[in-house]
Amino acid sequence: MIKIKLLNLFLALIIFSSIALAAPSLTIQPEISLTTFIGVEKTHYINISNPTNEIAYNVSFTNIPGFTFTSREIPGNTTINYEFKTKTNSSFSETYYSTMSFLYLENITSTPKTHNITLSSTGISPNSIAIKKGDTISWFNSNPTQTLTVTGESSTWSITVLPLNHSEKTFNNIENISYSCKISGTTYGADIFVESNLIEDKIHNSAYDKTLKINLNSTFAPTTISLEIFIDSFNLEYNEAGLGVGRITNNGEFTALDLFISMPWAVFENNSFNLEKEKSKIINFAISPEITKTSDTNKTYIKELTLSGTNIGVIKKNISIFVKYKKINESETQGTYTMDEVRKMLEEMLRLAGNETQNTTTIIYRDKPVYYNFTQEEVSNMDDRLISLEGKGDRTYNLYKQESDKVKEDIESIKGDSQETRDNVDAKLKEMKNLAENSTSALDSIAQEFKEQQERDLRAKRIKSIWSWIKGIGGILVIISLGITFFLIKFKKNKIKDLT
């Protein structure tokens, strides 16, 4: 018994000599910057190190709206990737502060307790009990008539317990105690083991807390968009409209938000919309050149079609627009002539040049001067007719000059579409629009058919250019004939004046 007491005393001294355990000291980076996507739960990590030998328990952070923190345990001499999540529902940039706290083991003094022991005719129950220093034993005498006495070993102390009553004693020393009680003529023995009231418990000390600064940027999740333009080259009159078609496809994992498509000279059927992931949308647009001067025609313009959005990068496509030559000012101030009208004017000039006039006077050319008698009125009428003929000749010459220049331009650029081709294109565009809602593969087929149609149109244009060459050569011959005619007319005019 004495050896046991000495051993317990030795253990108690060891415990007293180490009243407090060493507390861990965790380290984290003081500031982090995060980007999260609206409506999307995103996982983030931060390194936390425990350089001490002690375990850090229940490592966590104070709550922040939109953040989810978990509780972790970090062993001694360990660095972990601490995981937490964010999920936001709006766009913003904010700075938050969160406190990291943890628990650690510490030797603390236990709270004193009272332990009950019953004295009855069958003995002491329990007859062996372990208590902490500062705890109290309460003995209860269950005998209704007999007073009982609890006596410590070697009679160092004794307690009287009246019938059906309690008596208490507090033990403030670390020791093992044996005691006895005589009940109804029988002596019963029991033991009390008084242990240290220092215990290990998990505690929190705010002095070891750390503050983390979090810069959070909440934005829309990015996605990937592709843009196809099926017709990217146009050949138009200055006052003509061309129809274009394209396709936008969302190849990303999120909805493309606030898409906006624009281009100078263009009007779109719908140029502002959202597009869900893995979806496509057909875009239809009309192009109308904004040209007001002749000098701005017969040129190729490159216009930039731009697609932008809240969560996509800007996409740009170049559209080529050739504006055919047009003498805009002359068309607004002077009358125009059809080819039939030009032919009639030309025939009249040739008839006049061949003396097929309504004048009944016959002019005979001789080797020597011949004098003619004309009245002043006849001479004036002839002069007026020659002036009118000369004016018509000038207009006809200008028309053929313009036609000749246009032929050259057609040969150089191989431009221009027939009305039949434009009608064909319009029909195909309508067909594409009808099929677009049901099948994107049909669009690809139509796009291929467009390319083949363009190749056929190009061959037709080449044939047209050959005829234009022929027409140009004929025009040149006509111009030469007109030059000779003008010479003869002026010669006659001078002869008439001389005769007058």
Tell whether the model's pLDDT for residue 52 goes beyond 80: yes
205 pLDDT tier (thresholds 50, 70, 90): very high
Q: What architecture does CATH give domain 114-196?
A: Sandwich (2.60)
Tell whether the model's pLDDT for residue 129 goes beyond 80: yes
Q: Decide which of 35 and 498 is more confident.
A: 35
* Average pLDDT over every residue of 403-432: 55
What CATH number labels 225-323? Answer: 2.60.40.10
Whether this prediction's pTM lies above 0.85 is answered by no
* Average pLDDT over every residue of 183-194: 93
Residue 130's pLDDT is: 96
Residue 398's pLDDT is: 59
Tell whether the model's pLDDT for residue 124 goes beyond 90: yes
The beta-strand segments (E) located in 63-175 are: 67-68, 72-74, 78-86, 92-109, 114-120, 123-125, 128-132, 136-141, 148-152, 158-161, 166-170
The whole-angstrom separation of Cα 39 and Cα 89 is 5
Tell whether the model's pLDDT for residue 132 goes beyond 80: yes
113 pLDDT tier (thresholds 50, 70, 90): very high
Q: Decide which of 42 and 443 is more confident.
A: 42
Same fold, 2-106+202-219 and 114-196: yes
Residue 372's pLDDT is: 46
The full DSSP string for 172-225 is -S--EEEEEEEETTEEEEEEEEEE-SEEEEEE--GGG-EEEEEEEEEEPPP--E
As separate numbers, helices (DSSP H) first and strands (DSSP E) second, the chain gives 6, 28
Residue 466's pLDDT is: 74
pLDDT in tens, 151-179: 998 878 999 999 999 999 999 999 999 99
19 pLDDT tier (thresholds 50, 70, 90): very low
Residue 364's pLDDT is: 41
CATH of 2-106+202-219, one of 3.30.930.10, 3.40.640.10, 2.60.40.10, 3.50.50.60: 2.60.40.10
Residue 390's pLDDT is: 55
Considering 4-13, 124-133, 329-338, the range whose residues carry the highest mean pLDDT is: 124-133
pLDDT in tens, 353-385: 554 444 444 444 444 444 445 555 655 666 566
Three-state DSSP class for residue 8: helix
447 pLDDT tier (thresholds 50, 70, 90): low
Residue 128's pLDDT is: 95
Hey, where are the domains in the chain?
2-106+202-219, 114-196, 225-323, 337-499
The whole-angstrom separation of Cα 292 and Cα 269 is 25
